[in-house]
Structure formats: structure tokens, C-alpha cells
Amino acid sequence: MDGGGRNPGPADAPGGPGGSGRRAAGPGGARRSVSPAAQGLLRGLPLLPSAVLLAVFLAGPIGYCVYYAFTNMQLTGSSSTDFVGFDNFTRAFGDPDFLNAVWLTFVFVIGSAVIGQNTLGLALAVLMEKASKPVKSIVNLVVIAAWVLPEVVAGYLMYAFFFQQGSLNAILDTLRLPQQNWLYTLPILAACLANIWRGTAFSMMVYSAALNDVPQELIEAAEMDGAGPWQRLWRVTLPVIRRSIMTNLMLITLQTLSVFGLIYTMTRGGPGNKSQTLPIFMYQQAFQNSLIGYGTAIALVLLLVGALFSTVYIRLLKLEED
């Protein structure tokens, strides 16, 4: 071309390798565009197997539980299963044994999880910050060993500790202190202490990780201002780790609501119904009394209680963020 110019080549074309407007072209040079909805579906394809597994093994059983809760299904006796509406729930809230199980579940959760595991786990985490490495190793070994034990094994160990000829009474006898049959006189207290012993490790690990994130500058500034250990804990450390506290409370509450093997191994809900929490009551109604419909209605109530606790904790977490 005249004037030192040059003819435009393929690299200068809008769709060429050197052009800035590179586009995907379909047959005949027409541009293909992918809609946002299609892009979203393509990105979600890797999650499809997990969603199917959750639907089959989680949503499916929950759906069956909801259905059976409104029927009179039984393991023995009548072979027909009829829809009875809210009769199972009406029966439950009019049953003194069910109301007793609700109260004992509340006592068990508050006593062993919210107060016991949460407080003891925080105390151990704070104390371990200043402890020597050998002491940390021994405490971690003892506490975590109880946590990793299967629930039934932990229940048998606690039974051997609390029963009338068990270790606790042997210690009290050595100290010349009064003894009693703890599993008969105070069964729910024995169950609470057993659950504290078994579950404190989780809270301790959560708080140990949270305390590592507390800025050291804040602690040093509080020390320079004359704040003592309790003031530093209350005014500096706890406000900084408050989100970890709420998360830990939510998790240990849900874990404790579902505790079955520990209590069943120790007391089977007895004597009478003195340690009969909702999971024990549900099991006895569904499988010992063969009332599957009534038992699943109680299971649904327990599920709703867990959802209620979760909602409260999540709302509190959102308030903290705001």
C-alpha cells in the first residue's frame, strides 16, 4: 500500500489473535452467548452428587419421619396405618411423662452443655495458655481421650464410677465422707457430670483456637492500665471471642440434645423416669411400646427444639455482626 502503509492482516481483525474483541463464533460466524442461568447450572453440576446424597439420606428420612408423625403406625398389633392428624402431638403434650422428659432434657442441656462443657472448656483453655508444655500435653491427652471414646464405652465407664460399689463411693469412703447410690438418688446429675467429662474437650479446643486470635497488644495495654487477670478476661478476652462463644454454644447444644447412648447405658432413663430425656422417651415409645407414630412425633418435636436453639444462636450471631 502507498505511503508506507500496510494491508490489515488477520492479527488486526477484531476476532483475530491480536484483536481486542475476541469472541466465540458459531457456525457461519454468528456469536454464541451463554445466559447467566446456564452458567449457574454449569457451575452447580459438580455439586449435584452431593445434593442427591443429601436428599436421599437426610431429607428422605426426615420426610418419612414427618409423615409417620401424623399416623398411628405400630410395630405390633394393628396391621393398618391410618392418618390421625395432630392426635400424636395432642397426646404428647397431655402426657405427664413427655412433659417430664422435656424438663429433664432442658436440665440436661443447660447443666451439662451450656454451663458445664462451655465453662469448663473455657477455663481449661485459659489455664493452658500459661501452662508448661508437659502440663499441656498431659491435660490434652486426658481431656481429648474422653471425647474420642465411643458414647457407649464412656457410658459404661461412668456407670462403673457412679454406681453404689463404684469408684466414687470408694473415694468417699477413703475420705470418710457419706456415700450414696448416685444412679438411684441423683441420676440426672450423674448423667450431666458424665456428659461434661466426655464433651469438654470440644469446647476446650474451640476456645484454645479462639484465644490464639486475641491480639496481644490489647492484653498488654490492659496490663499497663492496671487490669488484673479477671478484668482482662472479662473486659478484653471475652468480647473479642464472643462469636466463637456463640458458635460453640450452638454446636454443643445440638450435640447434647441428641445424647442417647450415654444415658441409656448408665440408667436406661431410670429409676422410673428420673433421667428420661426426650431421646430416651422417644426410643421407649417407638421400639419398646411399638408406637412408631407416637415415637416419630416426639422425634419431630426434638428436631424442632434443635431448630429453635439454632435459630436463636444464629440470630444472636447476626446481632453481633451488626
Residues 240, 243, 244, 248: is their CA dihedral positive or negative? positive
Mean pLDDT of 219-231: 83
Q: What is the pLDDT of residue 183?
A: 92
DSSP code for 258: T
Q: What is the pLDDT of residue 124?
A: 92
Integer Cα distance of 230 and 235 in angstroms = 8
pTM of the model: 0.81
Q: What is the pLDDT of residue 144?
A: 85
Quickly tell me which residue has 436463636 as its cell: 312
Least confident interval from 14-28, 74-88, 234-248: 14-28
Mean pLDDT of 287-309: 91
The answer to whether residues 280 and 286 touch, using CB atoms and an 8 Å cutoff, is: no
Domain ranges within the chain, ordered by starting residue: 100-275
Per the DSSP assignment, residues forming a β-bridge with 25 are 31
H-type helices in the chain, by residue range? 36-44, 48-54, 60-68, 87-93, 96-108, 118-130, 133-148, 151-162, 167-174, 182-185, 187-212, 216-224, 229-232, 238-240, 242-257, 261-266, 278-283, 292-321
The CATH number of domain 100-275, selected from 3.40.47.10, 1.10.3720.10, 2.40.30.10, 3.40.190.10: 1.10.3720.10
Q: What is the pLDDT of residue 3?
A: 47
